[in-house]
Amino acid sequence: MVIRIVTGRRAPPDDKGKKPMYLCLCKGITDSDVREAGQAGIVMPGQLKAKFGLKEAGCCGRCSKNIHEFVQIATSARHVPSPNGVRN
């Protein structure tokens, strides 16, 4: 998996104190955004493209070409056990 770290724009730390990485500068999509989508069950390439508006006006389309990176992040978030031990 290739994740590009982009400097220049700063996002606030997530709830665990980690600084999110931007996956799409055009839309301002971070890895945290994709993990949240995965936790909500949005893990298929078409679902992720629709959720984040990839390949729409104002987006260069590079993310859409590398949608597998979004899928990997989203599915990894989907399989994380819940903190209280109850399965979804």
- Give the 3-state DSSP-derived string for 24-66, with helices as H, strands as E and coil as C: ECCCCEEHHHHHHHHHCCCCCHHHHHHHHCCCCCCCCCHHHHC
Domain 22-78 of CATH type 1.10.10.1100:
yes
| pLDDT at position 7 | 46
pLDDT digits (tens, 9 = 90+) for 21-42: 899 988 899 999 999 999 999 9
| 16-51 exposure pattern, b = at least 16 Cβ within 10 A, e = fewer | eeeebebbbebbebbbbbbbebbeeebbeeebbbeb
Ordered by start, the domain boundaries in the chain are 22-78
CB 63 within 8 A of CB 28: no
